[in-house]
Amino acid sequence: MKINLFRAADGTESGGGADTGADVRTAASRAMSVPQPRSNGDAPVGPTKIAARDVSVSYGDKQALFDVSLDIPDKTVTALIGPSGCGKSTFLRTMNRMNDTIPGCRVTGRIEIDGEDINAKSIDPVLLRARVGMVFQKPNPFPKTIYENVAYGPRIHGLTSTKAELDEVVQSSLKRAGLWEEVADRLHSPGTGLSGGQQQRLVIARAIAVNPEVILMDEPCSALDPIATAKIEELIDELRERYCIVIVTHSMAQAARVSQRTAFFHMGRLVETGSTEDIFTNPRERRTLDYITGRFG
């Protein structure tokens, strides 16, 4: 009797259909059924969501970015890594025009989101920031209640018309941010009373309440302890199914864990970009290798 023992859980056959003398039961049980993980390199990268071409940024006389061209795919986590002062945060902030708020800041080049140039005169930065949300390094919930924090975005953009709708948006945002269970019974207590990790998840809930397309994260875990960091990383993994996520991090380990694409910046220039697996196992550029292995300086 030919028994195909090597049918794995994903349905692919491995054996040649030959007889074996081995114990059918144990060999079959050995092919444990495991769900296919959402592992980093396997998931296909989405279409390009943000396209930057020759972007340069200067603050007064000092130039911070030199001709950066980068494509950022949708439904993917892209990590921007590099040493301090390399311009990764500056580049991140060009994508929601937060650099506009800094006096003396000049941005040249073209940044397109879904094909639209976001620096065009016709684009209102206020609306842009409803499509591109941001999470900062230090959790900065408003000094209001948890409910008010999450409801703020939908309110000022007029996204809901009744209180019931607003309640629904708040609840679903908190659920998606993985915070609902912990705060469902104290929605009207101040947001600043939560722990650091909870505050950061609140800030993420606030950002996703307006249903953005892109979420920018500027070192979101650098102020958090390892457990809170792990929770946020798991959250990022879940969020990437819906949003395009760009994360700046000075922890290479975090970039390796969390992202599918990585871009390495150095002294205002983009040195190398590629899949995270390639960058961390075999980068093309010498500078990238030196940075990742800690041979800098």
Q: Which stretch binds other proteins (CB under 8 A): 12-20, 78-86, 161-169, 264-272?
A: 12-20
Q: Which stretch binds other proteins (CB under 8 A): 36-44, 54-62, 82-90, 163-171?
A: 36-44
Q: Which of 67, 71, 117, 237 binds other proteins (CB under 8 A)?
A: 237
Q: Which of 225, 203, 228, 199 is nearest to 215 (CA)?
A: 203
Q: State how beta strands 48-59 and 105-113 pair.
A: antiparallel
Distance CA 40, CA 275 (A): 9
Matching residue, tokens 């590099």? 82
As a whole number of angstroms, the distance between CA 292 and CA 271 comes to 13
153 lies in the binding site for other proteins (CB under 8 A) = yes
CA distance 225 to 223: 7
Question: CA 18 to CA 5: how far, in whole Å?
Answer: 9
Alpha helices in 109-213 (DSSP H): 125-131, 146-157, 163-176, 180-183, 196-208
Distance of CA 53 to the CA centre of its chain: 21
Taking CB under 8 A as the criterion, the residue among 4, 29, 195, 293 binding other proteins is 29
Report how far residue 53's alpha carbon sits from residue 122's, in angstroms, rounded to the nearest whole number.
Answer: 19
Q: Looking at 35, 44, 115, 158, which residue binds other proteins (CB under 8 A)?
A: 35
How would you classify residue 267: left for phi > 0, otherwise alpha for psi between -120 and 50, otherwise beta? left
Using rule CB under 8 A, residue 157 touches other proteins: yes
Q: Please identify which residue in 19, 61, 181, 241 interacts with other proteins, judged by CB under 8 A.
A: 19
- Taking the complex as a whole, the smallest distance from the CB of residue 161 to other proteins amounts, in Å, to 18
Closest among 24, 25, 32, 43 to 8, alpha carbons compared: 32
User: According to the binding rule CB under 8 A, does residue 26 interact with other proteins?
Assistant: yes
Cβ proximity to other proteins: between 48 and 119 the closer is 119
Given a contact cutoff of 8 angstroms between Cβ atoms, the answer to whether 208 and 173 are in contact is yes
CA 79, CA 61: separation in Å to the nearest integer?
28
By CB under 8 A, the residues from 197 to 236 that bind other proteins are 203, 206-207, 210, 227, 230-231, 233-234
Nearer to other proteins, 67 or 249 (CB): 249
Kindly state the smallest distance separating residue 264's Cβ from other proteins, in Å: 15
What are the φ and ψ backbone dihedral angles of 70, each rounded to 5 degrees? -155, 140
Q: Is 39 in the site for other proteins (CB under 8 A)?
A: yes
At which residue do the structure tokens 């864990």 appear? 257
- Determine the interface stretch with other proteins among 44-52, 73-81, 98-106, 266-274 (rule: CB under 8 A): 98-106
User: According to CB under 8 A, which one of 123, 152, 171, 267 is a site residue for other proteins?
Assistant: 152
From candidates 37, 44, 115, 294, binder to other proteins by CB under 8 A: 37
Which tokens belong to 41?
């390199």
Q: Coil, strand or helix: which one is 77?
A: strand
Is position 49 an interface residue for other proteins (rule: CB under 8 A)? no
Q: Using the rule CB under 8 A, is 20 a contact of other proteins?
A: yes
The interface with other proteins within residues 276-295 (CB under 8 A) comprises 276-277, 280-281
Residues at the site binding other proteins, with contacts judged by CB under 8 A: 5-6, 8-9, 14-16, 18-23, 26-27, 29-32, 34-41, 96, 98, 101, 103, 126-130, 133-134, 136, 138, 140-143, 152-153, 156-157, 190, 192, 203, 206-207, 210, 227, 230-231, 233-234, 237, 253, 256-257, 276-277, 280-281
